[in-house]
Every structure is written in structure tokens, then in C-alpha cells.
Amino acid sequence: MRDVVIAGVGMHRFGKHLDRSLKQMGSDAAWAAIDDAGVEPRRIGCAYVGNSLGGLLTGQEGVRGQVILSEAGLDEIPVVNVENACASATTALRGAWLEVAAGTCDVALALGVEKMFVGDTARSLAALAADSEIDLARQGMQFSAVYAAHPKYNLRGRMEQYGWSARDFADVVVKNSRNGSLNPNAQHRRALSAEQVLGSPMISDPLTLFMCSSIGDGAAAAIVCAAELAQQLTDSIPVSVAAIKLRSGRTFTTGDEGFSTLREMVGELYDETGVGPEDIDVAEVHDAMAPIELLVYEQLGLCEPGEGPRLLREGVTALGGAHPVNPSGGLTSRGHPVGATGLAQVAELVWQLRGHAGARQAKERPLVALAHNQGGALAGMDSAAYALTLLMR
């Protein structure tokens, strides 16, 4: 297979955009990526479009990508609409990568887009419930409560085992909200104190409101290109796609097995690329709820089990630290429009690797960047989709 680069990225700012449709946000992000890559649109040989909730929330059940791309003026190419809950956008990126790597085309578009604010919050929440991130939600629990109660996360057990406190979870939000305050594409741009996080309404003990990602609208896109043709076809600073991995979790019986699929994927990623946790210059991880970030530190090998709060206290994962995590603000601050999130992570990492992240530049010259994205929690099954993307300058 051919080497592949990301030649351009683009976003439609995440937020509450009652006046913006899937079409408009998706088309804007696609064109932002095309312009960023400096590629001629007619060179785009195929498109993968990730979206999760558009059927139930907008009524557009079928051919969502074609509806969006026809608005963007892109037709007569293979368009594949993909869905993998909160990992939909990374699934789209993987599809575009595979097409270019396999040689079916030289340039491909990956787009992730979601519209969750439809002027009827009950409907938005019902769609999330039906999103099956959530057999539990059908029992009348809120989305966030799934995380608090899910045996995979076992938050109460971990708090007891490691001496973690709600304050540790709040510290994740303090870091990420500061990063988000520096990100013009972020949904929430207020830097929060630990007191503000802990004092926000309790959603599902131990999770308070500001520890939880909110619903949101937005889009993100990437142009991928065959590495050997990037100089000829694009006008940008290419970033290499070292690996993209996608996998469904295993059916599990105890909480300890909950993250075993992710752990194996990370191990394979490191083995295959020769990269280790010490090489990760910057990462975006799926902090749908703040404590997940601490758990992912462990899975990525950035620390031993239970040591996440120490990394936070020592500034290891802050901007300027050894391994900055979620410089964009992460899901809790940059926002989490389900089907757009994975490509927003990748867009951020491309900007970081280029040194174009402005006030939130995580390091002066990062070389290696990792995105962790996951989606969908079925009863008795680990995440329905885990996705890892390793990028290199």
C-alpha cells in the first residue's frame, strides 16, 4: 500500500448553530479542507462522510453525504456514508486513507458532521439514547450516567482503589477548558477553575455538568493524498498518516476486560510503527467525560495505572509539558458533535504538527501525534468502535 499524507484540514466551528444545517456546516468544512490543501476539487477521487444522528435529528436518513457534497459542488465520485457513533469521523478518515493507500484514487475527502441542536432538546437526547450508546439510557438514565455506571469505566471502584477524588476529574477540565479558551473553533471558551467544575450541577455522581461533554453542532474535514503526489497535487505542509486502526470492543464479563481491546490496539500500534509512549509529542483523546482522559493516559502507556492525576499535577499533559493532551480543549471544551469529533481531533493534530496552533501550540516542534476516538457502548460489550490515528511530521 502507498504512503498517505493529510494535505489539508478544515472545521466549521463547534457550537450551537440553530441557523446552520448539516449541508451548510459540512460544505463549509469540506471547502475549508480543500482550500487548506490547495488541491483542485476535480482531483478528489472519492469521499467518505461520517455522521451519526442525522436520520433521527434532521430526518435525512439516506445519502447524507451526497446531499451535503452536492451542496459543496462535488458530484460524480464514489461517496460512502459511514457511521460508528462517536467514532464516525475517524471511520471516514480511515476509509479515505484506505482508498488512497490502495490506489483507487490519489486524493480523497473525509468529512465528519453532526447537527444536535434542533430546537428540541428532548429530541436530541432521545436520538442519543437510540444511538445505542445506550441501552442504559432507555432505562431513563442520562447519557452521562452511562459513563458513571458502566463497568468498563468502574469510576467508583477506581476512586477507591487509587484514592482518586472528584477533584482529580475536575483538574482534567481545568486543563482542557484553559486550552479550549485559546481555540477559536471550540464550543466552550471559558477557562474554568476546579471550584467552578465541582460546583456545577451534579449529573451522575461523581460526574458534574462541566465534566461532561455537551451536545453540539459542527463539522471537520481532511483531504488525504498519496504521499508521492502531495507536492504535485497540493500546496500545503503534508502530515504523514503513520497508522489508522479501527476495531470493535470485545464482549466482556468483568470491568477489567473493558479496555482490553484498546490496550491491545495501542500495543500493536506501537509495535508496528516503532513509536512508543515516550515519543508522543501531542495527543487528542476522547474525554467524553473527564475521567476517561485519566484512563486513557494509562492505556496509551503515558503512566502506570492510577497515576493520571499525578501527570495532571506535574503539568506533563498541559501545554508545554512532555506529553500535552487535548490542546484543542478536548470533547468537554472544544465540543463533541458526535459524528464530527474524530476529524476535529485530527485537524487539531495537523495544526499542532505544522506549528500553526497559535496560542495553544502544545510544543515548539512536535513530530509525533496520536488521536484516540471511541464510540458506542452496547450492553455487555466494550466500545462499539475504538479508533487510533498516528500522525507524523
User: What is the binding site for a second copy (CB under 8 A)?
Assistant: 1, 52-53, 55-56, 59-64, 66-67, 69-70, 75-85, 91, 94-95, 98-99, 101-104, 127, 130-133, 246-251, 261, 375-376, 378, 380-381, 384-385
For the bound state, the minimum distance from the C-beta of residue 215 to a second copy, rounded and expressed in Å, comes to 14
For the bound state, the minimum distance from the C-beta of residue 245 to a second copy, rounded and expressed in Å, comes to 8
Nearer to a second copy, 166 or 338 (CB): 338
For the bound state, the minimum distance from the C-beta of residue 234 to a second copy, rounded and expressed in Å, comes to 22
Burial group, residue 278, by CB count within 10 angstroms (0-12, 13-18, 19+): exposed
Q: How far apart are the two ends of the chain, measured CA to CA in Å?
A: 19
- Read off the C-alpha cell for 388: 487510533
For the bound state, the minimum distance from the C-beta of residue 383 to a second copy, rounded and expressed in Å, comes to 9
For the bound state, the minimum distance from the C-beta of residue 11 to a second copy, rounded and expressed in Å, comes to 22
Q: Residue 95: what are its φ and ψ, rounded to 5°?
A: -60, -45
DSSP conformational letter for 215: -
Residue 92 contacts residue 110 (beta carbons within 8 Å): yes
Nearer to a second copy, 302 or 385 (CB): 385
- Is 188 marked active-site? no
Q: Give the residue among 105, 104, 127 at the shortest CA–CA distance from 115.
A: 127
Taking CB atoms within 8 Å and a gap of at least 24, the contacts of 227-231 are 227/2, 227/3, 227/4, 227/5, 228/2, 228/3, 229/106, 229/107, 230/5, 230/7
Nearer to a second copy, 70 or 273 (CB): 70
Nearer to a second copy, 69 or 172 (CB): 69
- Is 323 marked active-site? no
Q: Residue 7: what are its φ and ψ, rounded to 5°?
A: -95, -20
Nearer to a second copy, 34 or 191 (CB): 34
Nearer to a second copy, 80 or 237 (CB): 80
- Exactly one of 17, 46, 86, 225 is catalytic; name it: 86
- Exactly one of 12, 17, 336, 372 is catalytic; name it: 336
| DSSP secondary structure, 326-378, as one string | -TT-HHHHT---GGGHHHHHHHHHHHHHHT--GGG--SSS--EEEEEEEEEE-
For the bound state, the minimum distance from the C-beta of residue 67 to a second copy, rounded and expressed in Å, comes to 6
- What is the C-alpha separation between 363 and 378, in angstroms, rounded? 37
Residue found by looking up cell 484516540 in the block: 372
Nearer to a second copy, 50 or 206 (CB): 50
Taking CB atoms within 8 Å and a gap of at least 24, the contacts of 188-194 are 188/214, 188/329, 188/332, 188/333, 188/334, 188/335, 189/333, 194/167, 194/170
The two beta strands, 239-247 and 383-392, are antiparallel
- Read off the C-alpha cell for 358: 497559535
For the bound state, the minimum distance from the C-beta of residue 384 to a second copy, rounded and expressed in Å, comes to 4
Q: Which residues are catalytic?
A: 86, 336
